[in-house]
Chain A
Amino acid sequence: MLEIKNLHARVEEKEILRGLNFEVKPGEVHAIMGPNGSGKSTLASVLAGKEEYEITGGEVSFKGKDLLAMSAEERAREGLFLAFQYPVEIPGVSNINFLKAALSEVREHRGLPQLTAKEFLALVNEKSKLVELDGQLTNRSVNEGFSGGEKKRNEVFQMAMLDPTLAILDETDSGLDIDALRIVANGVNAMRSPERSFVVITHYQRLLDFIVPDYVHVLYKGRIVKSGTKELALELEERGYDWIKEEVEAANA
């Protein structure tokens, strides 16, 4: 599904990803943890196609295709979805109109028939229920004036609408209260399937109680420095990152 080999990326002369290796197979759920500033969101942005990051080395293949050669919109149409850590507010653009436009371009690319207005609204209804997103919110401007939790739910709602094969959730749990966390996690779990993979970036073990990952990785200084199963997340919760940092420094020494 996704294969990242020796990926290097920088922004404004600053090297952030420094030889990152990472692989996701169909149906798998991977959690990525790591200290603030280690490069998690950078990885997500690079995968989604944000142009301000300069790729200085390595390769990424997505479903066997060269991901780095595709534009952001091509990646989305091919089935990659990023739930942003900080969703953008877009005043004046209605959530619903924007999604209709996006979905239409996505379906066209995937060779799927266009939805009628009725089918589209039915889909909106169904998917907004999945994350219990208030119907009012779907009609408002994109994320404008949404609470932190509403923004995150809106991301997962959009994910459900666009039906990706690989979804990257960047701290989708932060800002959610305990009930919202369960709702969002249930929404994600409902979408789990043998064909669909997830990369879940988080700081908190509690999300992983709901969305149980197959693998857990630690990203530090632009590299995956440790990988394990869900027990690793528990250990990190208990011990923090210092021991990992020490391991890395020792290995580098």
Chain B
Amino acid sequence: MEATTVISNKDKFIALNESKSSVLKNSWANEIEAAIAAFTTFELPTTRHEEWKYTRTTRLANENWKWSESLENSGLSNTIIEDLNAARIVFINGNLSLADSSFNNAIGCTISVNENIAASDIAQINVAPATNVFEAFQRTNTSAAISIRVEKNTAAETPLHIVHLITDNESISTPAIFIHLGTGATLEVTESFHGNENTKGLTIRGLYAHVGTNARLEYNKIQAEKDEQFHISLDNVRVENDGYSNFNTLTIDGGWVRNDLRIDLNGQNIEAHLSGFYLPRNKQLVDNHTKVDHMYPHCMSNELYKGILFDQSTGVFNGKVYVRKDAQKTNAYQTNSNILASDDATMNTKPELEIYADDVKCSHGTTTGQLDEQAMFYLRARGMSPDSARKLLTTAFINDVLNKVENKIVRQHVIDALVQKGLLYI
């Protein structure tokens, strides 16, 4: 029998890797060197890989991605959050579009971009080494970057809105965001991802946030890409003593979405919230992998993810919570609830708690069920159409996640987007 040549799925990424260099090649040199080495050792994950058991990368690997320099901004006006009066930082096809951005007026924070980002700013964030091929790839090829710094005891008054838009077909975007909050600093960021119709795109976005002592970070990530778009978020948040982090992952739309959120509780007395909803339709896939690491005593983490799966969509939730030996008096809560709104939808959910301390309060619960038929009938018996009844119940189901978004304007914006998609009732 003749031997067949197996072309590694990774080949296309190797080619992409060779044709690009990072905008941070000077300011992040050490890490890039490490990431280049890591990139050669990691394979593209398959479903045999524990972390990718339900999420196939085949389709993503088979596309012909290209680096794009296009700053074509059609559709950008749809990304504005009315009344937020935010400083806007706009990435188009992975490139920073200064012409579309307006952040010079941002009060209380310092924003630097691309080659102007100081090596010391990045070093202060203390990014952990890359653990998979996508992380290594993003770091090696950072297509554009911003650094946001809020200094000691400063409140960044202007909310930030980071916008990503895909307009160039088959483009790949690998931007990075660095955030440093000094002692007692506060910051609110909304980041939203968009893409135009019939435009294939792949985004691998790295977020590296450092929440200093007694600092507060509010982070709302809104994913509203199209069926043709692939998305990998690499979200890393490290919190110090007395810090607070509230991280919301709101997946409204997108063909193939993977969120890797890692929160390191690197001190005592930290409060961390991580919440999200996902409402995949058609053949969409939404995969949330979260990792919460309790390293020291007296911290609290509260995780709440909810999903409603329509049509032939797939959902994945994997929530890891580590409570290390020294992390006594930890309170760690995790909930993942799902509704299968179709017989053809699938949800794979797995909580993974590893607890090595003995004096802790930890709980986790996952449920996957159908829309409550009794409630549906009750609402219909009062004259509501099945469609409005379903939407009313959907709204009720994800309401507690929506309420995690503290900024009412952002929350209303998300609700409006859901209503527009015919997913919610108001």
Residues of A participating in the B interface, judged by any CB pair closer than 8 Å: 48-51, 71-73, 75-77, 82, 84, 87-88, 90-93, 97-99, 101-103, 105-106, 109, 141-142, 158, 162
Q: Does B6 contact A (CB under 8 A)?
A: no
Given the complex of chains A and B, what is the CA–CA distance between A101 and B391 in angstroms?
A: 11
Q: Can you show 18 pairs from A to B with CB atoms below 8 A apart? A: A48-B381, A72-B381, A73-B385, A73-B386, A76-B380, A76-B382, A82-B381, A88-B372, A90-B393, A93-B375, A93-B392, A93-B396, A98-B392, A101-B392, A101-B425, A102-B379, A141-B396, A142-B378
A76 touches B377 (CB 8 A): no
A105 touches B388 (CB 8 A): yes
A71 touches B380 (CB 8 A): yes
A98 touches B379 (CB 8 A): yes
Given the complex of chains A and B, what is the CA–CA distance between A115 and B225 in angstroms?
A: 38
Instruction: Identify which of A73, A97, A162 contacts B380 (C-beta below 8 A).
Output: A73
Task: Pick the 10 closest A-B CB pairs, nearest first.
Answer: A92-B396, A76-B383, A106-B383, A102-B382, A72-B380, A88-B378, A93-B396, A73-B380, A102-B383, A90-B375
B383 touches A92 (CB 8 A): no
B396 touches A105 (CB 8 A): no
A91 — which chain B residues lie within 8 A by C-beta?
A: 396
Residues of B participating in the A interface, judged by any CB pair closer than 8 Å: 372, 374-375, 377-386, 388, 392-393, 395-397, 399-400, 425
What residue in chain B is nearest A107 (Cβ atoms)? B383
Main secondary structure of the interface of A (DSSP, over half): helix
Given the complex of chains A and B, what is the CA–CA distance between A49 and B425 in angstroms?
A: 24
Given the complex of chains A and B, what is the CA–CA distance between A73 and B383 in angstroms?
A: 4
Give the shortest distance, in Å, between B308 (CB) and chain A (any CB): 13
A92 touches B379 (CB 8 A): no
B383 touches A109 (CB 8 A): yes
Given the complex of chains A and B, what is the CA–CA distance between A130 and B302 in angstroms?
A: 44
Give the shortest distance, in Å, between B383 (CB) and chain A (any CB): 4
Give the shortest distance, in Å, between B302 (CB) and chain A (any CB): 18
Given contacts A72-B381, A73-B385, A102-B383, 9 further A-B pairs with CB under 8 A are: A50-B377, A73-B383, A87-B378, A90-B378, A92-B396, A97-B392, A101-B388, A101-B392, A105-B388
B383 — which chain A residues lie within 8 A by C-beta?
A: 73, 76-77, 102-103, 105-106, 109, 162
